[in-house]
Chain A
Amino acid sequence: MPLYAAITYTADVDWTAPEQADEMAEYGAFSAGAAAVLRGGAALYPTSTATTIRLSEKGGDVVTSDGPYVETKEVLTGFFLLECADLDEAISRAAEIPAAWNGAVEVRPVIPMG
């Protein structure tokens, strides 16, 4: 069955902070409920921990800058990999991710690699 990435965009949060405990519990409940289709995923540290790198060309000098690639109000905060029969199933699963009401969830099909 195809894999979908459910990418969460929300306000920049530190999932490890104590005040996020309630929300983390909601995510835990989602993960437990979606165990049958959940194939992986990750929560990301806040964008203040991000480093963006860029090379002028392949093999060129590595130029680093602090912060995320794009500065926006809602940022990439995590993703889940869901194995679903079709887009409708993936959408109904993604609608249970707390980010869907705290921000937005982008659902994208994953290209199978070898």
Chain B
Amino acid sequence: MTAGSSADPADIHRALVALVRTSGRDVLATLTRWTGDLALAEDAVQDATLVALQTWPRDGVPDNPVAWLRLTARRRAVDLLRREIARRPKEVAAVDRPELTDDLGEEWDDVSPSVVDDDLLRLVFTCCHPSLELDAQVALALRTLCGLTVAEVARALLVAEPAMAKRLVRTRQKIAAARIPYRVPPDHELPARWAGALATVHLMLNEGHTATSGDDLVRQGLVDEAIRLARLLHRLQPDDPGAMGLLALGLLSDSRRDTRTGPDGVILLADQDRDRWNRAHITEAVSLLAEALRRTPTTPDRYVVQAAIAACHALAPTWEDTDWSAVVSWYDTLVGIDPSPVVRLNRAVAIGERDGADAGLRELEAVAGLDGYALRHAARAALLRRVGRDDEAAEADAIASMLPMSDPQRRLVSPDPAARPANG
């Protein structure tokens, strides 16, 4: 794997970006446990990537880039801790700090997967601490858990980049100054923290399943990690229907992983090869879903209902044979829990299947607040095309193509008369 002097800077840059995306979050979580300081751990990981930008083109990509990143970030954290301790009053400096030794023990070189899981779960609970405002929680989770750049977080949340950078700095300062702890809360505090933890893992799942920007529609590593975290939450509260629903939802979305993209980009739900869906995932999810529904007969849970919608698709032999009445009825329930514009958009698309494109279009036009959401314009274009309003459809596609989305999604939004609504 060592590239030597002939290394192409573009290849090296790509390797580095991929490394940070797949392993940055594990290294960050472990470093945060070790230093007790999220901001410092973030700085250390970022500095390590800068070191890579300088040394990799000269020395080649290391044989084990993950180990290299872990080691370099750890050394950098030691430097930063030393500097911070020198700067602070004595009585503050000595508290809760790890031994500052350059001797990197085996514990560091060989972090077991279960330790990394626990570290990640702690990070989830830090990101959704109720003393952080909701926008800050989401931004922090996208940045630290999903590994998005500041620019990508800004785009995903429709905020200008400098404002987002400022918000993230303020959030990091609050975590450090107020000492927001980095740990899984004790049992008696779990109920108050539960909704935030589920929402954070759900956000990871969404971002992994449909990346906001970048080359890939799906960031498989992120999906795998979100499912792993959903499993950990389910283990932590085995009777909680929300955790069952979230895990089921993750498994159902992931059951289609091999069929969602092809050589030409996105393959819509309608056109996917259902024989290649992951049956083991679907079976496990459906049994989780049945149990969760049994526990929530009168108080529907948002993740359970979303899993129920996904299950309608997973169990349908074809797109045409989907039970659209059931899908619409689940969306009606979901709108009752979460009347957000995106939920109402998806409901409109389902109505377009049950009652025809005209009805779907009417519902979609009634949904306000999604002018900056590419899939809204793409879904509208598809419905317009089905009722023969091709000029307006082309206009809607043009708007969609100017808004943030992943490259495979962008390739999909083209004046292709065969295009169908993208609710896959």
A residues lining the B interface (CB < 8 Å): 1-2, 4, 85-88, 91, 107-109, 112, 114
Contacts and interface: CB of A to CB of B under 8 A. Distances in A.
Interface string B71-104: 0000000000000000001011001000000000
Given A2-B179, A109-B177, A91 B89 contact: no
B89 A114 contact: yes
B89 A86 contact: no
A109 B179 contact: yes
A87 B131 contact: yes
Nearest to A91: B131
B91 A112 contact: yes
Nearest to B179: A86
B311 to A, nearest CB: 37
A105 to B, nearest CB: 13
Contact of A88 (B89, B92, B177, B189): B189
Interface string B301-312: 000000000000
Contacts of B180: 86-88
6 contacts: A1-B95, A85-B181, A87-B178, A107-B178, A109-B178, A109-B179
A87 B92 contact: no
A109 B177 CA distance: 6
Among B91, B95, B178, B180: residue with most chain A CB under 10 A: B178
B60 interface: no
Contacts of A85: 179, 181
Contacts of B65: none
Interface string B179-210: 11100010001000000000000000000000
Given A2-B179, A109-B177, A109-B179, A88 B91 contact: no
A10 to B, nearest CB: 21
Nearest to B177: A109
A112 B185 contact: no
Contacts of A108: 178
Contacts of A91: 131
Contact of B181 (A88, A107, A109, A114): A88
Given A91-B131, A107-B178, A112-B91, 13 more contacts: A2-B179, A4-B178, A85-B179, A86-B179, A87-B131, A87-B181, A88-B180, A88-B181, A88-B185, A88-B189, A108-B178, A109-B177, A109-B179
A1 B89 CA distance: 13
Nearest to A114: B89
Contacts of A112: 89, 91-92
A87 to B, nearest CB: 5
Interface string B114-146: 000000000000000101000000000000000
Contacts of A2: 179
A76 B180 CA distance: 25
Contacts of A4: 178
Contacts of B178: 4, 87, 107-109
A2 B95 CA distance: 9
A96 to B, nearest CB: 15
Interface centre among B91, B179, B181 (most CB of A within 10 A): B179
B88 to A, nearest CB: 8
A57 B89 CA distance: 32
B295 to A, nearest CB: 29
